[in-house]
Chains A and B, each alone.
Chain A
Amino acid sequence: MKRYFLDIIQSIWTVLVGMKITGRHLFTRSCTLQYPSVKWELPERSRMRLFNKIEDCIGCGQCVRACPVDCIYMTTEKRLKEAPPIFAADGTPIKLSVTQFDIDMSLCCYCNLCTYPCPTHCLVMTPEYEFAVNTKQDFLYRFAKDEPLAPVTPSAVTPEPVSAK
């Protein structure tokens, strides 16, 4: 009988304790960030969309070799001897003109390995992360100027993955 009344008193007490906790949370500041109007502040050096400053690119192709998923496509042409000499921002002479510099961001794994070997620091990862597009082809970012008519990349030729068939 004693147990019965103790149980009742204890249950009332625990309900009150629980209500105190939820009541306190009712007035604490909510931790929601209202995304489109307020944006999360990304940490320093976060790895998002790749960007290549093509004016500084010397066409060395080290990024292509470093990429573990082969998502960078590069074609270069040797510049003529008699053409006026041009230099990258840090003074490196540009001897190759880059005619194609495509990055397929749908393949990119954001490992950042391509930016380390870049001698002129023209290939960087930007903190830009809102780049959703409607078709897979739109993920092919073209950085080269004077692009040849139809750039041939494996992704552009066969946009659909094999498993989808």
Chain B
Amino acid sequence: MEYLRQVLLQKVAGFDQLPGSLQVFIPMLLGCLLCLGLVALFPLFAVWLERKVSAHMQDRLGPMRVGGWHGWAQTIADGVKLLLKEDIIPAEADRLLFKLAPIVVFVGGFAAFVVLPFSDQFIVSDLNIGVLYIIAISSLGVVGIIMAGWASNNKYALFGGMRAAAQIVSYEIPTMLAILTVVIPVGSLSMQDIVRAQSGGIFNWFIFQPVTFLAFWVFYIGTLAEVNRTPFDIPEAESELVAGYHTEYSGMRFAFFFLAEYANMFLVSAIGVTLFWGGWQGPTWLPGPIWFILKAMALVFVQMWLRWTLPRLRVDQLMYVSWKVLLPISFILVLAAGILALVTEGHLNE
């Protein structure tokens, strides 16, 4: 948040007299609050969009009443309703884990927003290991899911938790290998460096280069499974497991799971945009953050589109896709990316 710090130094009187650590901490806190606002507000919009997209794909209308124009306030009303609902904890539940699980799931998704490059200036913290950080911190979500499944003391919840563990851990491997195919040519794990490596016209984006083009689809399928979206939604398969790991949750704790799910949808789409679709770059008649969010929203829309197109996979099919299809393909892609990097950078002659 170097940019925000400069602005504060110029505009706020007495900011330069603060101790040095506070001068770094306060802009970072403001950036985090902005991200928190985005994480809290985006699901409101995304849930509405999901309901509208699903309705129109089924030739229905979806919410039309609340708020006037096409029911735009429906999710706000739903959120208020969830806030006011009774908070039920099952008698035989592990109370501490039960209360902790939604927070862990939410924090896992939210913490990764810190390294999202919304524009060349707006990134809360441009870590030099940004990609690694995202991989590490987003794995926290699965811990929360298993906690929720275990603490509920409900067989369906436990089934959901175990399935989520198996699925997310399996799909993390091809996803990470697909990310590696981008990291190899860039030579850096910093999110901003990856975006800058794609500068100079649309055809420098990694999506338009052969190896990374295939890698993007591996990445996209993998992230689809990691955020439990249909066709990989077996952890919360409503027709067999009631609601999976959040069966026993009600009120605001349930809302937190929902919030985390939609925040994660945006997160994985934003990572995809950063790695493959040129990040915040685009024609200059729109500012960077707008391009970034528009591109991410487009990928979120495709996630919704797929949800209303494909049926749910069986557990064995799910494992087949991950271990026998995506994993070999991503290995080959990493190999190809390595060879390509060697050839283009001329290391073969050394």
**Chain A residues within 8 Å of B, Cβ to Cβ:** 8, 15, 18-19, 21-23, 25-32, 34
Contact = CB atoms under 8 A, between A and B. Distances in A.
A19 B306 contact: yes
Nearest to B328: A4
B60 A22 contact: no
Given A25-B57, A25-B59, A15 B310 contact: yes
B232 to A, nearest CB: 13
B55 interface: yes
B: contact size bracket = 10 to 19
B290 interface: no
Contacts of B58: 25
B128 interface: no
Contacts of B305: 19, 22-23, 26
A28 B57 CA distance: 8
Nearest to A12: B217
A18 B309 contact: yes
B85 interface: no
Given A15-B310, A19-B309, A22-B305, A8 B55 contact: no
Given A8-B325, A25-B57, A30-B55, A18 B310 contact: yes
Contacts of B202: none
A32 B60 contact: yes
Closest 7 CB pairs of A and B: A32-B61, A18-B309, A22-B309, A22-B57, A30-B59, A30-B61, A25-B57
B64 interface: yes
A25 B310 contact: no
Nearest to B329: A8
A18 B210 CA distance: 25
A26 B309 contact: no
B89 interface: no
Interface in B37-90: 53, 55-61, 64
A23 B64 CA distance: 21
B308 interface: yes
Contacts of A22: 57, 305, 308-309
Interface in B297-342: 305-306, 308-310, 325
Given A8-B325, A34-B64, A28 B309 contact: no
A31 B59 contact: yes
Contacts of A25: 56-59
20 contacts: A15-B306, A15-B309, A15-B310, A18-B309, A18-B310, A19-B305, A22-B57, A22-B305, A22-B309, A23-B305, A25-B56, A25-B58, A29-B59, A30-B56, A30-B59, A30-B61, A31-B59, A32-B59, A34-B61, A34-B64
Contacts of A27: 56
Contacts of A8: 325
Given A18-B309, A22-B308, A26-B53, 6 more contacts: A15-B310, A22-B57, A28-B59, A29-B59, A31-B60, A32-B61
A17 B56 CA distance: 18
Contacts of A18: 309-310
Contacts of A21: 309
B72 to A, nearest CB: 16
Given A8-B325, A19-B305, A34-B64, A26 B56 contact: yes
Interface string B133-169: 0000000000000000000000000000000000000
